[in-house]
Amino acid sequence: MQIVAIIVFVLTLAASTVTLAVRTGLAENKTCYGDGTGVSTGISLSFDLYFMTCPQVEDIVRSVVEQAVASDPRMAASLLRLHFHDCFVNGCDGSVLLDDNTNFVGEKTAGPNLNSLRGFEVIDSIKSEIEQACPQTVSCADVLAIAARDSVVLSGGPTWQVELGRKDSRSASLTTANKNLPAPTSNVPTLIQKFQNLGLSTQDMVALSGAHTIGKARCSSFSSRLSSNGDVEFIQSLQQLCSGSNGTLAHLDLSTPATFDNQYYINLLSGDGLLPSDQVLASGPSEVLNMVQAYAIDPVLFFEDFTTSVIRMGRLASSTGTGTDGEVRKNCRVMN
């Protein structure tokens, strides 16, 4: 604890400079909305799309998410992750929710998703209620975006207005999921490149990585940490936890596991990041390290930047889920 206190004290001296740099970087790319490659699609989203056609949509989503998280606090992280993994594969088009069919193998069995993604039944419940209230009006992709926001809020994190108007895809891509989604063993250059491939910045990558302040991961996803250098006590606790099975679950943030806060970044500076792809941020280039340090000492800055980045990510679109090529699914698991 003394070491952490010293680190925080030293970082505070440079906080204003780092914070200004991070905010300046943020201001440079507020309107990015593309097809997954940074190219504008011309598709517009709005905050009040369902004001007349389905005014109760956000109340329905919030109610179901509240019940799910009350029953299983981990569900908040799972629903947030569904939105991330949807947007990273051909844009935010609900493709991650599709089951396999005779025409394609869906994304649920991709390496980063298999035995990992969960919460599909919660989305099913939300969609069922919405279809009763407003048939074929609200897309599954929009449901994911709203549920992600509500999951963050219920975990003590920030709120934001969700932009709406996405369409659901009529296909899914196992290949693209395996290609686009970052692996838990990714290094910093790989993480930066995967985000840049989607038109997202390095700052977006660092801010959105903070979503790992809630949730759990299997021992198999951080096995390399069991023999790595770092906080000896932390590594030994992981070794003991994982001694029984690679399928054992560990909290991504041992300190405040169910609270959406900036503890994730404090953990990284102490060497207590769970996933290899998390811990590498603390030893990355100065641009990345400066952001980690800024978020570790300024939770307000993290909340502000996270919301901006998650909104930006939510604008990612593709030809399979927008305009005339998309639809509003009645059942999120299958095409109409």
Provide block-wise average pLDDT over 10 residues at a time, the chain (336 residues).
44 43 39 39 78 97 98 98 97 96 93 94 98 97 98 98 95 95 96 97 98 97 89 93 94 96 97 96 96 98 98 82 75 97
Cα separation, 235 vs 298, in Å, equals 27
In-domain check, residue 128 = yes
DSSP per-residue codes, 269-313: HTT--SSHHHHGGGGS-HHHHHHHHHHHH-HHHHHHHHHHHHHHH
Amino acid identity for residue 210 in this structure: G
Q: Are 301 and 206 in contact (CB under 8 A)?
A: no
Within a domain: 8:
no
In angstroms and rounded to an integer, the radius of gyration of the C-alpha atoms of the chain is 19
pLDDT at 115: 87
Q: Is 184 annotated as a binding residue?
A: no
Backbone angles phi, psi at 210, to 5 degrees: -65, -10
Is 89 annotated for ligand binding? yes
| C-beta of residue 64 within 8 angstroms of C-beta of residue 76 | no
**283 in a known ligand binding site:** no
- As for how many domains the chain has, the answer is 1
The candidate with the shortest Cα–Cα distance to 170, out of 107, 93, 92, 85, is 93
**Domain residues for 203?**
56-315
Q: Which of 74, 85, 127, 315 is catalytic?
A: 85
pLDDT of residue 33: 43
Q: Residue 35: what pLDDT?
A: 42
Catalytic residue list contains 85: yes
For residue 318, what pLDDT is reported?
Answer: 63
Give the pLDDT of residue 5: 45
332 is a domain residue: no
Q: What angle do CA 26, 28, 32 make, to 5 degrees?
A: 95
The backbone region for 42, taken as left when phi is positive above 0, alpha when psi lies in -120 to 50, beta otherwise, is: left
- 66 is annotated as contributing to ligand binding: no
Residue 65 is part of a domain; what is its CATH number?
Answer: 1.10.420.10
